[in-house]
Amino acid sequence: MEWRRLGFIALIILILIGVVVMIGGGEIAPSVIVVSMIATTIAVATPLTLGALCGVYCERAGVVNIGIEGMMLASAFFGWFAAIYLNTILGMAPMPSLIMGVVAAILTGGLAGLLHAVLSVTYKVDQIIGGTVINILAIGVTGFLNRQLFFEKGSIFGGQVPHAPGVLPRIRIPLLADIPTVGRIFEQQPIAVSAIVLVLVTHFILFYTRWGLRTRSVGEHPRAADTVGINVARMRYANVIIGGLIAGLGGAYFTLESVPSFEPLMTNGRGFIALAAMIFGNWAPFGAWASALVFGAAQALQINLQFFREQIPSQWAFLQQAYIVGLVPYLLTMLILTGIIGKTTPPAADGVPYEK
């Protein structure tokens, strides 16, 4: 990654952590705050990382996917529904219900990916429109089913939202989690850990394997790939579906790892921020992850500032306003997209349907 972008990322993260330390440092030891910020950052960056990885798979193969938001929303809902259904109606124990919920979320994402692939590759619909369709569909369907299944008197849950089986428990990474103070960073929930593992795996696949070479060829110059016998449509389908599966895992984070409930529109733009992370990360897994961490840090800032509300000095009172601090991720995204901090290059055939 270019120094300018890397430097920007490091700088912003330092600033964000620094602000919280300055404000809360009186009450709680700075080292504890720093560790807490880092741990939170890694956790909340999870859906952004996964969303960005979804984008990487799709766009490296040449398919623009702005439907990541909708994919995650739909997966969040169906994963949560599956977990509650298994737990409440079928009487499954909490942990297996949650795990099956994750599976359901992943499959939902895969299905959404399949839909996007069908629209983009077979029907050659404009990919931005196709992604928007997925977003709208997700909002409509999850809104409808949420009302229908959980709030209607005649529904299976009897009109009351049942008690959710909780969230996925934290995993302690052996050895690393035992380090004093800093160890907290290595106690993360499973989806957060999976996200990091997937970054490594994706990097390897994309740049060291046959699959990765072919995927990239299809995104750069599909006709060239076609002439050496690569099935462009098949590669694109596969990659978009894989992307969907990963977005599904990202959706699972919201309702099965973060908070044990579903709110309509709860993804709140993070699917789009994930896209910005992908762009800023130059369509590469590590770059996307680093960018996601920046946004994660902005969100961690928001969370921690709420926690330290009382400590905020009066001249900084505007920071108390959740709405103002909440602007940071969005403003950051726009700033990054101007390319001032560094221009990145998408795959050459990104967004262009392939016609023989």
Partner 1 sequence: MTNDQMTYEMGLALQTKGITKHFPGVLADDHVGFDLREGEIHALLGENGAGKTTLMNIIYGLYQADAGEIFLDGKPVNIRTSKDAIAHGIGMVHQHFMLIPVFTVAENIMLGSETVRGMVLDQHSVATRVRELSHQYGLDVDPDAYVRDLPVGIQQRVEIIKALYRQADILILDEPTAVLTPQEVRELFKVIRSLADQGKSIIFITHKLKEVFAVADRITVMRDGRVVGTTTPAETSEPALASMMVGREVLLRVEKGPASPGEEVLHVENLHVFDDRGAETVRGASFFVRVGEVLGIAGVQGNGQTELVEALTGLRQAHSGQVVMLERDVTGKPPRPIIETGMAHIPEDRRRYGLVLPFPVTDNLVLCTYYLPPFARHGIFDHQAIDENGRQLVHEFDVRTPSPYLPASKLSGGNQQKVIVARELSRPIKLLIANQPTRGLDVGSIEYIHKVIVRMRDAGCGVLLVSAELDEIMALSDRIAVVYKGQIMDTLPADQVTKEQLGLLMAGITTQATEV
Partner 2 sequence: MSTSVEKTAPETTFKVLEKLRPATNAVLVPLLAVFTALVIGALVITAVGGDPIAAYKGLFEGAFGSAKALSETTVWATPYIFAGLAVALAFKGGLFNIGAEGQLALGAVAAAWVGYALPDVLGVTLPAVVHIPLAVGAGMLAGAIWGAIPGWLKARMGGHEVINTIMMNYIALNMTSFLLNGPMKDPSPLNVVARTPNIAEGARIPPIFPGFRLHWGFILALVVAGVVWWVLQKTTLGFEIRTAGANPNAGRYAGVNVPRTIVVTMMLSGILAGLAGTIEVTALNYRHELGFSVGYGFDAIAIALLGKTHPLGVVLASLLWGAMRNGATRMQFLTQIPVDVISVIQALILLFVAADAIIRWIYHIRAREERVVLTRGWGG
> Restricting to residues 275-294, which ones interact with partner 2 according to CB under 8 A?
275-276, 279
Q: Which residue in 204, 201, 333, 239 sits closest to 280, CA to CA?
A: 333
Min dist. Cβ of residue 116 to partner 1 (A): 24
Of 164 and 218, the one with the shorter C-beta distance to partner 1 is 218
Helix (H) or strand (E) holding 172, with range, is strand 171-172
Count interface residues toward partner 1 (CB under 8 A): 20
Min dist. Cβ of residue 344 to partner 1 (A): 13
Q: What are phi and psi of 10, to 5 degrees?
A: -60, -45
Binding mask 37-66 for partner 2 (x = CB under 8 A): ----------------------x----x-x
> Restricting to residues 317-356, which ones interact with partner 1 according to CB under 8 A?
348, 356
CA quadruple 166, 167, 173, 176: dihedral sign: negative
Contact 162, 88 (CB under 8 A): yes
Of 303 and 341, the one with the shorter C-beta distance to partner 1 is 341
Q: Does residue number 128 form part of the binding site for partner 2 (CB under 8 A)?
A: yes
The torsion defined by the Cα of 50, 336, 333 and 350, in degrees rounded to 10, comes to: -50
Q: Which residue in 292, 329, 318, 323 sits closest to 9, CA to CA?
A: 292
Binding mask 135-174 for partner 2 (x = CB under 8 A): xxx-xxx-xx--xx---x-x--------------------
| 170-173 long-range Cβ contacts below 8 angstroms, 24+ apart | none
Q: Which one among 151, 208, 316, 318 touches partner 1, defined by CB under 8 A?
A: 208
Of 315 and 338, the one with the shorter C-beta distance to partner 2 is 338
The torsion defined by the Cα of 329, 332, 338 and 343, in degrees rounded to 10, comes to: -100
Choices 8-16, 173-181, 211-219, 261-269 (CB under 8 A): range interacting with partner 1? 211-219
Compute the distance between CA of residue 164 and CA of residue 87 in angstroms, rounded to an integer.
8
Chain positions contacting partner 2, by CB under 8 A:
59, 64, 66, 119, 123-130, 132-133, 135-137, 139-141, 143-144, 147-148, 152, 154, 265, 268-269, 272, 275-276, 279, 321, 323-324, 326-327, 330-331, 333-334, 337-340, 345-346, 350-353
